[in-house]
Amino acid sequence: MRVLAIDTALAACSVALLETQPDSVIARLSLPMDRGHAEAIMPMIDQAVGGAAGLQRVDRIVVTTGPGSFTGIRVGLSAARGLSLATGKPLIGVTTLIALVAPALATGDGRAVAAAIDARHGRVFFQIFAPSGLGLVPARVLTVRDAARMAGDGPVRLVGSGAAQIIEATEVRHEIVPDSFTPDPVWLARLGAAAPIPERVPRPVYLRPADVTKPSSPLEVVRG
Per-residue pLDDT, 211: 56
For the cut 50, the answer to whether the pLDDT of residue 212 exceeds it is no
Q: Position 22: which residue type?
A: P
**CATH numeric code, 2-96+183-194:** 3.30.420.40
For the cut 90, the answer to whether the pLDDT of residue 215 exceeds it is no
Is the pTM value of this prediction over 0.75? yes
Cβ(105)–Cβ(159) under 8 Å?
Answer: no
| pLDDT tens per residue across span 183-200 | 999 999 999 999 999 999
CATH 3.30.420.40 range(s) for the chain read 2-96+183-194, 97-176
For domain 97-176, the CATH architecture is 2-Layer Sandwich (3.30)
Alpha-carbon span 26 to 63, nearest angstrom? 17
> With b meaning 16 or more CB within 10 Å and e meaning fewer, what string describes 161-195?
bbbebbbebbeeebeebeebbbbbbbbbbbbbbee
Average confidence (pLDDT) over 55-69: 97
Please list the residues that pair with 91 across neighbouring strands. 61
Per-residue pLDDT, 210: 63
| pLDDT tens per residue across span 64-115 | 999 999 999 999 999 999 999 999 999 999 999 999 999 999 998 889 999 9
For the cut 70, the answer to whether the pLDDT of residue 221 exceeds it is no
Per-residue pLDDT, 108: 84
